[in-house]
Amino acid sequence: MNGFLPESAKILTLLCAAWLAGCAVPGAVDPPAQRVNVEGRSYLISQLTAGTWTATSPISSEISSAPSVRAALLQAIEKSSGCKVTDADYSRGGMQLDAQVDCGSGLKN
C-alpha cells in the first residue's frame, strides 16, 4: 500500500463530512440576547441552557447588586424566558447574574 486512500474511501469521507455539516442547521442557533435598560444601564439577557438564563453587562463591568437592579433583571429574565425564576446568583466575580427558571410542562429545549 502506498498510504493513500482509495478513491471510494475518499468519496465516502466527503459524503460523511457533508452529512455532518448538514446537521448544523441555521435554525439551531441560539436566540440573540435581548437588551434591557435598568436604572440607566444596559444589560443583555440570554439563555444558557433550557433552565438557566443570564444577565450580563455589554461593557464587561460588574452588575449592580442593588436590590432594585436585581429585581428588575430577574423580572426581565422572566419576561424573556416566559418562565418563573426559582433561584438566582451572581457569577464571574459579579459580572453575571444567573437565574434558574421553571417553565412547568412547557420547559424549553
Q: What is the pLDDT of residues 55-92, one digit of tens each?
A: 998 887 888 888 999 999 999 999 999 999 999 999 99
- Count the neighbouring beta carbons within 10 Å of the beta carbon of residue 63: 20
Cα 53 from Cα 83, distance rounded (Å): 10
For the entire predicted model, the pTM comes to 0.66
Q: What percent of the chain has pLDDT over 70?
A: 68
Q: Which position has the higher pLDDT, 23 or 95?
A: 95
What is the number of structural domains in the chain?
1
C-alpha–C-alpha distance, residues 34 and 55, integer Å: 9
Q: Is the pLDDT of residue 40 over 60?
A: yes
Domain assignment present for residue 59? The answer is yes
Could you tell me if residue 69 is inside a domain?
yes
19 domain-assigned = no
Range of the domain at 59: 32-104
In a domain, 13, yes or no: no
Query: Which of 57-61's residues contact partners 24+ apart within 8 Å by CB, and which partners?
Result: 57/95, 60/95, 61/95
Q: Do the domain assignments include residue 8?
A: no
| Confidence (pLDDT) at 105 | 58
Tell me which residue has cell 452588575: 63
Residue 22 lies in a domain: no
